[in-house]
Amino acid sequence: MLSIKGLSKTFFPNTINEVKALRNVDLTLEAGSFTCIIGTNGSGKSTLLNAVAGTFVPDNGVITVDGTAIGGWTEYQRAKLIGRVFQNPFAGTAAEMSIAENIVMAMRRGQSRPLTRAVTTQAKKEIADKVCMLKMGLEDRLDNPIGTLSGGQRQALTLLMATWLKPKLLLLDEHTAALDPKSAAKVAELTRQIIRDEKLTALMVTHSMQQAIELPDRIVMMHRGQIVEDYQKEDKKRIRVPDLLDTFDRVQKKELFDESVMQLLAEQYV
Amino acid sequence: MEIHAKKINQQLLITVNGRLDASWSDYFTDAFLAFIRNGEHQFVLDAKALSFLSSAGIRSLVRITKELRTVEGSMHIFNATEFVAGTLRTTGFGDWLLDEIPAELKHQNLQPEQNALPENLFLLDKNASLSLKTHTNWKPWQLVKTTDSETMQFPADSYALGIGSPSASGKLFGDFMVVGGHVAYQSPEEKSRPDFLLPIEAYIPEMEVIQSLRTEGSFSHLWRFAPDADKSAFTIAELAGQALSLTHAEMSAFVILAEIDGLVGAHLIQSPALRQAENSPAFPEIRDWLSFSGERVFVGEQAMIFGVVSQHNTTMNNDLLIPLPSMPTLAAHLHAAVFPYQPLQNGELNLKQQLDKFFNGPPPKALMHLIDDQRPEAGLGQSSLIRGAMWCGKVIGKENKL
C-alpha cells in the first residue's frame, strides 16, 4: 500500500546547522497493516511521516501509495489518499465550528463542496450513528462548537474524521502524546478499534513503548535518519517493552563507541 | 504512615505509626525491602501505634517474610493492638507475634542507625589452592583455525573465563565464564541474552574454547564486604588486591557475588570465526564486533564475577592478565555475569548453594569482560560493587599452558 524507496532529506545543507534527517530510507507497508515508528528525539520519525504527507519535498526517493507515485503531489492533493492525526488535539479541527460542521468537512474531503446546505438531517443522522461508537455522549452535542470539548474528545473526533472516508493510508503523529493518561488510553483503544474494523493501512509515530507493543503489528525503529530495527511477525509478537528499551540502549551504546574506546579495548579486551 | 528504625544489637527495631492498608502497603514493603538490601535481616516490629491491618497489609508482611526467608532472616511483632493481634491470629499468622518485648530490646542498648556491617572474614580451608591452565591458541584478531579450539569439560571444581562456544552450537565464539562448573555464556549476537549450562546429575558442561584462563581447585577464604560511613563502594582493583592480600599470593583467583554500583565492560557481538581478514577491525567496523557498555551499567543488580589477578611483573605473568590502569601493580582479567538482584544472607555463605540459587532463579541479563576505563575525561572508571561476598584462593604452580 505504501512504498518508500531511497528517501533522503537534508535540512540546511552545507551550513553549520545541517541535519541529515532522512538517509536513504526504504519502507514498504502491506495493505491493512499497522506499523509503528519509534526512535530517539531527532531520529527522523516525524520527518518520515511529513515526507509521506507532502509537508516538504525530499531530496531523493520515491513514494507511492496504492501504486501511485505521489512525489509531485501537493499536501492537499495527497489528502485524498491520506488521513492524518496530529499531536496537537486542536490542530485537526476548527474550534468555532460545531462538531457536525467539522465532520461534514471531513466527509467531503477531496470532493467538490458546492454552495449547498452541508449539515443536512441525513448527514446529521449518519454523523450521530458514527460518533456514538466513541462512547463519549457527543452524539447529543453535535451542534456544540468543537472548541468546547476536551483535548481527548477532540482527538477522538479528529481520528474519526481522518478515517471517515477510509483513507488508503492513515498517518498518526504522536496523536496521544498531548493527552492526559486516561484520554490517551481511550484514544489509543479507539485507534486500534478503527484501524482493525476498517482494515486501514496505518503508520503511527509514538514515544510510548507500551503503545508500540500493544497497538501495531509491526515496529520500526529509527535512529539518525535511518531504520535500524524492524520487528515483524514472530519477532513482533515476542518482543516486550524491556526488549525495546534494550534495543534503544544498544543503538545509543554504538554512538558512544568512538575511536578512544577502540584504543581502550585494543589494550584491555584480550 | 511513619516508619522509624533503630539498630539494637543485631536486630532492627522498627516502629510503625499509622495504618497498614492498601494505601500504604507498597510503601511499607518498599521500606522493608530497602532495609534487607542494606544488610538488615533480623526485624522486630513495634506495632503499638499500628492502628489498622488489612488483607493488603498482611500480604505485604507475607512478602517481606518470604524475602527474609531467602536470607535466613526473621521478623517478629510485639506491642500489637488487640485488633492487629486478633487479625494476625485469625488469619493464621499468630506465630509472628511476641508476647513480650525481646529481652535484648528491653535494655535499650541502642546503637546509632548505620548501614555498615563489620567486615567478615572466614577461613574456609587454609590449605586450599587452585591450579591454572591458560589456552591462548587464538589471539585477536587472527583467523580462527580448527586447531585453535579445544573441547573443555568443566567439572564442579573448575572456574574459568574466556572466549568459547557451547559444544554442538557451531563456531559461535563468545565471552563466557565458569563458576563451580556452572557456565554462563554470551552468544556473540547483538540481540541475544546470556545462556547457561548447568551441571545436572551426570552432565558436565562442555565448551569449544579458543581462549581461556582456567583454574581448578577450591578457595581458602571468604570475605564479606559492605559499605560504611567512609566507603560507599568497592572497586574491582581494590577487591582484586584484597584477594592477593588475603591469600598472600602472587596470583589469586576469586569469585565475587555482590550488588552492583556500576559495571564497565565489553563483549563480542560477532563470532571471531566469521572474520574474513587477518587484521584487526578498524573504526567504525570494530563496532560490529564488540559492544562496549558506554556508561556504568546494571546499577542495583547482582554481579557474579570470576577473576584472576597477579602482581604485575612477577614470575606469574600471563598473556591474558592485563595491567589495570588504575592500579598498575596488578594485572587481572575478569568476566561478570549480571543477575536480577537477590539479597544475600549475612555471615558465612556456601558458594555452591549460592550458585544453585542464582542459576536456578531468573536468568542472567548480561555477561561482559570488565574494562578499567581510565581514558582522560571520557573514562568511565572501574567497575564497582556495593556489598557482597568474595571467595578467593591462591593460584599455585608454574603456569600450565595448553
pLDDT tens for B239-273 read: 999 999 999 999 999 999 999 999 999 999 999 99
Percent of chain B with pLDDT over 70: 94
What range does the domain containing B274 cover? 120-401
Contact A269/B140, CB-based, under 8 Å?
A: yes
d(CA A60, CA A72): 12
User: Which residues share a beta bridge with B266?
Assistant: B292, B369
d(CA B177, CA A96): 68
Strands A34-39 and A202-205: parallel
Q: What angle do CA B206, B211, B212 make, to 5 degrees?
A: 70
Q: Residue B159: how many CB atoms within 10 A of its CB? A: 28
CA dihedral of B279, B282, B287, B293, whole degrees rounded to 10: 100
Contact A257/B294, CB-based, under 8 Å?
A: yes
Provide the terminal-to-terminal Cα distance of chain A, rounded to the nearest Å: 50
How many residues appear in chain A?
Answer: 270
CATH code of the domain occupying A2-87+167-268: 3.40.50.300
Chain B residues in contact with A261 (beta carbon < 8 A):
292, 375
Chain A residues in contact with B295 (beta carbon < 8 A):
256
- Is residue B149 within 8 Å of residue B135, measured between CB atoms? no
Substitution target from B134, B137, B286, B368 for chain A, most A beta carbons within 10 A:
B286
Write the residue in B191, B292, B333 that is nearest to A261 by C-beta.
B292
- Report pLDDT for B110: 43
Q: Is the pLDDT reported for residue B402 higher than 60?
A: no
Residue B125 shares a structural domain with residue B105: no
Q: From the CA of A270, how many Å to the nearest CA of chain B? A: 6
Q: Is the pLDDT reported for residue B401 higher than 70?
A: no
Q: Which of B51, B77, B111 is the C-terminal boundary of a domain? A: B111
Q: What CATH number does the domain containing B27 carry? A: 3.30.750.24
Contact A264/B371, CB-based, under 8 Å?
A: yes
Contact B291/A268, CB-based, under 8 Å?
A: no
pLDDT tens for B101-148 read: 777 776 554 444 444 434 589 999 989 999 999 999 898 888 998 889
Residue B258 shares a structural domain with residue B381: yes
Residue B96 shares a structural domain with residue B163: no
Contact B371/A270, CB-based, under 8 Å?
A: no
Residue B382 shares a structural domain with residue B263: yes
Closest alpha carbon within chain B to A244: B191
Closest alpha carbon within chain B to A256: B294
Residue B313 shares a structural domain with residue B245: yes
Q: Per-residue confidence at B228, pLDDT binned at 50, 70, 90?
A: confident
Contact B266/A247, CB-based, under 8 Å?
A: no
Residue A199 backbone zone (phi > 0: left; psi -120 to 50: alpha; other: beta): left
Q: From the CA of B140, how many Å to the nearest CA of chain A? A: 7
Closest C-alpha among B380, B16, B335, B353 to residue B183: B335
CA–chain centroid gap for B153, Å, is 24
Q: What angle do CA A87, A89, A90 make, to 5 degrees?
A: 120
Give the max Cα distance, chain A. 80
Q: From the CA of B177, how many Å to the nearest CA of chain A? A: 14
DSSP B263: B
Please identify every stretch of chain A with a pLDDT value under 50, giving residue numbers as ranges.
none
- Report pLDDT for B118: 45
Q: From the CA of A156, how many Å to the nearest CA of chain B? A: 33
Q: Could you tell me how many CB contacts below 8 A there are between chain A and chain B?
A: 57
Contact B140/A270, CB-based, under 8 Å?
A: yes
- Report pLDDT for B312: 77
Q: From the CA of B352, how many Å to the nearest CA of chain A? A: 29
Cell 516525524 found at? A46
- Give the three-state DSSP class for B142: coil
- Report pLDDT for B75: 92
Q: Which of B111, B136, B165 is the C-terminal boundary of a domain? A: B111
Closest C-alpha among B88, B83, B162 to residue B320: B162
CA distances from B164 to A131, B203, B206, B320 (A): 62, 19, 10, 15
Q: Is the pLDDT reported for residue B194 higher than 60?
A: yes
Residue B106 shares a structural domain with residue B124: no
Cell of A162: 481522518
Cell of A216: 501495531
Cell of B397: 604452580
Tell me what ipTM this predicted complex has: 0.80
Residue B365 shares a structural domain with residue B340: yes
User: Which residues share a beta bridge with B390?
Assistant: B223, B256
Return the domain boundaries, chain A. 2-87+167-268
Cell of B374: 581510565
Cell of B138: 587464538
Cell 503508520 found at? A203
Q: Which residues of A touch B (CB under 8 A)?
A: 246-247, 250, 252-262, 264-270
Residue B128 shares a structural domain with residue B93: no
- Report pLDDT for A112: 74
Residues B322-344 as b or e (16 or more Cβ within 10 Å = b): bbbbbbeebbbbbbbbbbebbbb
Write the residue in A247, A250, A268 that is nearest to B372 by C-beta.
A268
Contacts of residue B23, Cβ cutoff 8 Å, sequence gap at least 6:
none
Residue B103 shares a structural domain with residue B124: no
Count of structural domains within chain B: 2
Closest C-alpha among B1, B4, B19 to residue B83: B19
- Report pLDDT for B191: 77
Q: Per-residue confidence at B391, pLDDT binned at 50, 70, 90?
A: very high
Closest alpha carbon within chain B to A242: B365
- Report pLDDT for B117: 38
Rg (C-alpha) for chain B, rounded Å, is 24
- Report pLDDT for A92: 80
DSSP B384: E
d(CA A212, CA A165): 25
Residue B138 shares a structural domain with residue B95: no
Contact A260/B378, CB-based, under 8 Å?
A: yes
Q: Is the pLDDT reported for residue B287 higher than 50?
A: yes
Q: Which of B71, B94, B111 is the C-terminal boundary of a domain? A: B111
User: Is B301 buried (19+), middle (13-18) or exposed (0-12) by CB count in 10 A?
Assistant: middle
pLDDT tens for B328-372 read: 899 999 999 999 999 999 889 999 999 999 999 999 999 999 999
d(CA A235, CA A12): 37
Q: How many CA atoms lie within 13 A of B261 on its CB side?
A: 17
Average predicted confidence (pLDDT) for chain B: 89
- Give the three-state DSSP class for B379: coil
Chain B residues in contact with A260 (beta carbon < 8 A):
375, 378
Q: Which residues of B touch A (CB under 8 A)?
A: 140, 190-191, 211, 266, 280, 283-284, 286-287, 290-295, 319-320, 322, 333, 369, 371-373, 375, 378
pLDDT tens for A154-194 read: 999 999 999 988 999 999 999 999 889 988 999 999 999 99
Q: Residue B28: how many CB atoms within 10 A of its CB? A: 24
Per DSSP, which regions of B193-349 are E strands? 195-197, 206-217, 221-225, 234-235, 251-262, 265-268, 290-292, 302-311, 322-324, 327-339
Residue B225 shares a structural domain with residue B259: yes
Contact A270/B280, CB-based, under 8 Å?
A: no
pLDDT tens for B47-67 read: 999 988 988 899 999 999 999
Contact A253/B293, CB-based, under 8 Å?
A: yes
- Report pLDDT for B107: 59
Give the max Cα distance, chain B. 79
Contact A268/B140, CB-based, under 8 Å?
A: no
Contact A253/B294, CB-based, under 8 Å?
A: yes
d(CA A267, CA B5): 48
